[in-house]
Every structure is written in C-alpha cells, then in structure tokens.
Amino acid sequence: MQKTLLVYNIFSSGISSKLINGVLKTLEGKGFYVDKIGTSRIGEASEKIKNYLKDQSKTINMVIAVGGDGIINEAVNALAFTKIPLGIIPRGTGNAFAKDRKIPFKVKKAIEVFKTENVKEIDLGLVNDTKYYLMMCSCGFDVKAIASLNPGLKKKFKILAYVYHGIKAFFTYKPVELIMRVSGENVLCKGYFCIASNVRSYGVPMLQIAPEASIDDGLLDICVFMNKGKISFIASILAIFVKMHINFKNVFYIKTASEVIIEQDYAKDSKGGRQVAPLVQIDGDVYCSLPVKIKVKNKALNIFLP
C-alpha cells in the first residue's frame, strides 16, 4: 500500500472536482492510500506539504502534484533533500517541465510512471539560498512578459496568453545591461538576457535554449545573450530552434558547478541614478529582483520520470 499525498490548486486552470475525484479513484484502484490537500494561494502548497511531513502521526511514501509548473515548484521546495519522491500529473497552462521530460498528460498513463524503478535523483537550482527551482532562473524581457500576464487571460487562452505577452514584451522592453559572474572560474560576461538552466528547453520542447543541459549532471547551463539589438536577438531566437545559437558570437554559453552571480550594470545608467532593479523569474513565476546568487544542488530531489 503506497501512502500518498495528493496536492492541487483548486483555482488552477484544468483542475476540477471531477478531475480530482477521477485521479483519486484511479490511484485507489491501483493500491494507493491517498490523503489530499487543496490549495488556493501561492505558497500554500509548499507550506502544507512541509507541515504534513512534520506531523509525526503521518507517514507517506510519495507526493503527487496535480497541476502546472507553479504547484510543481512548490512541491519541489517542500521535498528537496527529503528522499520522498515527487510524482506529476500535468494539468497546468504551460506544463513546461512535463513537456521537457515527456511526462504523460493522460491521468492513467501518468500514474503508470509512479513505480519504484522510475524514481530518479535529479539536480535543483537554488536562488539566494532560499528558493529551489526545477527548470530555470532567468532575467530579461521574458520576465516582463511573465510579470504582465493577466491571470484571467492565462486561464482562458492558456499558452496563447504567453505568446501574446511575450511578443508585447519583446517590442516594449527596454534592455538593461546585466553582469554575470561565475565564482572561482574568473568568468565575467555582460548581456541583456541571462538564463541559468537545469533543463534543455524553455517552455516548449522545440525551444532548446540550453541544448547541452542534463538534469542530473551536477551542472547548470548558463546562456547569456549579449546584444540588445532586436534584429540580432530575433536571429538568435530563431537559431534556438535548430540549436545553433550557442555558436553565435553574441551568445555566451557555459556549463558550471560553481556559484553564478547576476546583477545589474549600474554603470550603464546614463542618468546617474539607480534604475529599478530587473525582475527574476523561477520556473515561470516572478520571484525577486536582481542581484541574485544561483547554485546547483546535486541529487537534491527524488522524482518519478518516464
């Protein structure tokens, strides 16, 4: 009997009582004993999972997150270094991680992955020693798109809402020069868009911004776009689809196990005063503003993967 904690956001796109009841019925039919936690606000899932794990009267063999990248990230932050494996049933808007790792979207097929032989130990990124991420941390025009995303449009139009806000942000974003340092390796790079990735793709499998990334190699893949010109940036973006962008002169790419520091280049502020610090996103949600320190934590999470 697998003792399982099922976690989901009751207001998330794609979540309904019918779906959750169907998931429970399928799990119980396969011998899982399930407790469930419904959440309604950002951060609540992580808090409730942690509190559940602290309760000495309760023991579980695994946690299942039903939803998208947001609730998956919350589960990750509760389960890091606990050895309790995370299972995923994709039901979000973007589902970037599920697409990257080819996790089935049909409930029954997703549940078939929850077998001992499918548990993998994977790396996590860690930002400012406070927040883990499963996929990527980035700073640039993409974060403006994420920050301006209307929840109503996101729920109604799903991935099209991301496309709309992405295009809008691209043409309205005023590039801010960033400084990226890799501690202990004497690496310094300046650019206008920076990503520290643990997976190959960004959002969709075809957009492999970190084509050499591996989720369990103990390394983060750093990609910096150094040119702020829109034409040059468009060319680099198009090259991502054929994995050629890392060969461009205006794109810096490195794999590292060392701490990465990203900060704003205030020397470029022509007015002499400090600009508003650029925002930083983690796994598709705005988390903080620059500066940030990013580390890789090797074998930090147990997770069911096909």
CA distance 120 to 103: 13
Residue 278 and residue 289 in contact, taking contact as beta carbons nearer than 8 Å: yes
Q: What is the pLDDT of residues 72-84, one digit of tens each?
A: 999 999 999 999 9
Residue 271 and residue 188 in contact, taking contact as beta carbons nearer than 8 Å: no
Lowest mean pLDDT among 62-66, 161-165, 291-295: 161-165
Pairing of the two strands 220-225 and 193-197? antiparallel
**pLDDT value at residue 21:** 95
CA distance 291 to 127: 10
Q: What is the pLDDT of residues 91-102, one digit of tens each?
A: 987 899 999 999
**DSSP structural state of residue 82:** T
**DSSP structural state of residue 256:** E
CA distance 61 to 33: 10
Helix (H) / strand (E) containing 71: helix 69-79
Q: How far is CA 49 from CA 125, 206, 287, in A?
A: 20, 33, 20
**DSSP structural state of residue 203:** S
Tokens 């794109």 — which residue?
251
Residue 208 and residue 242 in contact, taking contact as beta carbons nearer than 8 Å: no
CA distance 35 to 285: 27
Q: Can you list the alpha helix ranges (DSSP code H) found in 80-224?
A: 96-100, 107-112, 141-147, 151-157, 159-172
**pLDDT value at residue 117:** 96
Q: What is the pLDDT of residues 260-278, one digit of tens each?
A: 999 998 766 555 555 678 9
Amino acid type, 208:
Q
**pLDDT value at residue 240:** 92
Tokens 């499963």 — which residue?
134
143: confidence class by pLDDT, cuts 50, 70, 90: confident
Ordered domains of the chain (ranges, CATH): 2-114 (3.40.50.10330), 136-140+175-298 (2.60.200.40)
CA distance 78 to 51: 9
The pTM of this model reads 0.90
**pLDDT value at residue 184:** 81
CA distance 149 to 54: 35
Q: Compute the chain's Rg from CA coordinates.
A: 20
29 pLDDT more than 90? yes
**pLDDT value at residue 274:** 57
Q: Report the DSSP beta bridge partners of residue 66.
A: 8, 89
